[in-house]
A = this chain, B = another copy of it.
Amino acid sequence: MTPRREKRRRELLDAARDIFAEKGFVAATVDDIVGRTGVARGTFYLYFDDKLQVFGELVSDFFARVAGSIRPIELGAGAPTPREQLRANLGRVVSLCLAEPGNVKIAFSTAFGVDAALDERLASFYASLHTFMDETLETGQRIGLIRAGDRRLMVSIAIGGFEQLLQDAVSGAVPSDEAELVDALMAFLESGLLV
């Protein structure tokens, strides 16, 4: 891959991310993407097989980056408290998401059910996310950091709350100050809503 090719490919991916975020996967046309990039229609197909591949690549990259920003909780003697480590993880993910609002919109609010291949890809991401969370919670329960309860339900609620908050933050529905968001999430995890 020559640098030139790399650059053009990057331009197309960036344009695609913006367009997908604005219009959604179905409504976005290849014409929109090449139009924003300023290249001809055929050029798109020199870099990607089809619309779905670009989408998949964007989502894959983003999820990989999110996953990469999470550090496993260390329980060793000199390590920060688990709560501090948890807060640090939340901070990194929130920070990354606030920096890439387009990817948040794409990854979290694109329709399931529009394209079978797309569905499968999204489903596999969520499946591995759930597995990871479940294992983490299991450890937490064992060491007495996480309360008892059906982990699948806990994971479902936690992921939903987290994603919704981020979606609302990047869409402007709620304030998007990183510290505030992390505080709100921590407070929820610490004590729920009720006094």
Contact yes or no, B152 A23, CB < 8 A = no
**What's the number of copies of this chain in the assembled complex?**
4
A6 at the interface (CB under 8 A from B): no
Contact yes or no, B152 A157, CB < 8 A = no
Report which residue of A24, A153, A181, A190 has the largest number of chain B beta carbons within 10 angstroms of its beta carbon.
A153
Contact yes or no, B27 A115, CB < 8 A = yes
Show 11 A/B contacts (Cβ-Cβ < 8 Å), sorted by A: A26-B26, A110-B111, A150-B184, A152-B174, A156-B161, A156-B165, A160-B161, A189-B192, A190-B192, A190-B194, A192-B192
Chain A, residues 112-137, CB within 8 Å of chain B (1/0): the string is 11110000000000000010000001
A193 at the interface (CB under 8 A from B): yes
Chain A, residues 14-39, CB within 8 Å of chain B (1/0): the string is 00000001111111000000000000
CB of A126, distance to nearest CB on chain B (Å)? 8
Contact yes or no, B105 A109, CB < 8 A = no
A185 at the interface (CB under 8 A from B): yes
A139 at the interface (CB under 8 A from B): no
Chain B positions within 8 Å of A10 at CB level? none
Chain B positions within 8 Å of A163 at CB level? 160, 164
Contact yes or no, A187 B24, CB < 8 A = no
Given B26, B146, B161, B195, which contacts A194 in the complex, CB threshold below 8 Å?
B146
Chain B positions within 8 Å of A112 at CB level? 24, 109
Known contacts A153-B181, A160-B165, A184-B153; is-contact A111 B26 (Cβ 8 Å): yes
